[in-house]
Chains A and B, each alone.
Chain A
Amino acid sequence: MSDDARWLSAVWMSDDPAKRADVTSAIDAVLERDRAEADREHRTRIGSLAALALLLPVVLWAAAHGVTPLVRGAYALMAVGVAVIGTAEWLYLEWSKQALPGPVDARSQLQKTAFMLTRQARLLSTSAIWASPAFIGAALIGGWLFRERTHAEAIAVWALTAAGWLAAGLGTMAVGARLTRRREQLEQLLAELE
């Protein structure tokens, strides 16, 4: 470093905003946040597992003991859909974890995060397709109700199924679009860094 550069560096380093008490309270806050985030993740996973554990046996039982082949097929489709949704959620959480900043160089970090965001965005934007077995299964139940019970019951099931499918599809697509924008910003940052 030349004298001028040393001087600039000295000017920069003369700013010493960290005090010991300040650092101690920051460490406490960080540990608290770490605990809170770990608890939240734990609760989410436990909740998802509990929902799967409750739902899957019920639909599997219904798939095995349904009154007609149509009902059994519908519940089997719903079981497949629930399993796919559970797997997708697990994948999404894993990719989120992998995208977190770590001790790699900035270029590799930006590339890795952008890659993970691409995967997550693709997963979310196609949710209406991979979650479709659950909704098609529910719609088939509506078909059985239409034939064997009342039209009103069938229409209610179809309306709920369509609303759920649409809401889930649009909601995840919106999040996917947000992730795509983040990825584009990261790629811009990467290009600028290089």
Chain B
Amino acid sequence: MAAYAAPIRRLCAAYAESPADREDLFQDIFLAVWRALPGFRRQASVRTWLYRIAHNVALTRRTRNRHRQSRESPLDQETAAATDMDFRRLALKRAIAGMAPGDRTLTVLWLEGLSAAEIEDVTGIKAATVAVRLSRIRKRLHPIEVSR
């Protein structure tokens, strides 16, 4: 669990708006993982198995009214602590936060290093479609790429 905490935290940051919401989402994901553990088969990849649960929790959670109220925007909070490198990450996070949920899911999985086939395994979207959509998404992220 500890090995996958960092990617899951990043996923929470992409889906949840406030720090309190992120913490709730993180716990929801690990609760779902904990409950799904007895059904895990060793033949399956731990990474895609975990990402499936995590994205399913994050996507279905959006439709429940369980978000805690926060007046502070998480991105505003991060701006205060940002260094030069952090600004690039912040720009990336802002771009991801502005995406539709489907694009956000694909982008997060792609940034975490999953191949189109693995993304198909997690989302159920055909690898060819994933590739086309990712190429569109990368065009939108191009200004961040060229800023390096």
Binding site for B on A (CB under 8 A): 1, 4-5, 7-9, 11-18, 20, 22-23, 26-27, 29-31, 33-34, 100-110, 113, 182, 185-186, 189, 192-194
Contacts and interface: CB of A to CB of B under 8 A. Distances in A.
Contact of B32 (A102, A106, A107, A194): A102
Given A101-B32, A189-B63, A107 B92 contact: no
Q: Which of B64, B85, B92 has the most CB of A within 10 A?
A: B92
Contact of B13 (A17, A26, A101, A102): A17
B36 interface: yes
Contacts of B42: none
Interface in B78-96: 85, 88-89, 92
A109 B30 contact: no
Given A4-B145, A31-B34, A16 B6 contact: yes
B32 A100 contact: yes
Query: Interface range on chain B: under 10, 10 to 19, 20 to 34, or 35 or more?
Result: 35 or more
B122 A106 contact: yes
B113 interface: yes
A113 B49 CA distance: 18
B84 to A, nearest CB: 12
Contact of B60 (A9, A15, A16, A110): A110
Q: Can you list the 9 inter-chain pairs with the closest CB atoms, starting with the nearest?
A: A107-B124, A105-B124, A18-B5, A101-B56, A193-B102, A12-B111, A185-B63, A109-B56, A17-B9
Contacts of A186: 60, 63
A8 B124 contact: no
Contacts of A113: 60
B102 A192 contact: yes
B148 interface: yes
Given A13-B112, A103-B53, A27 B92 contact: no
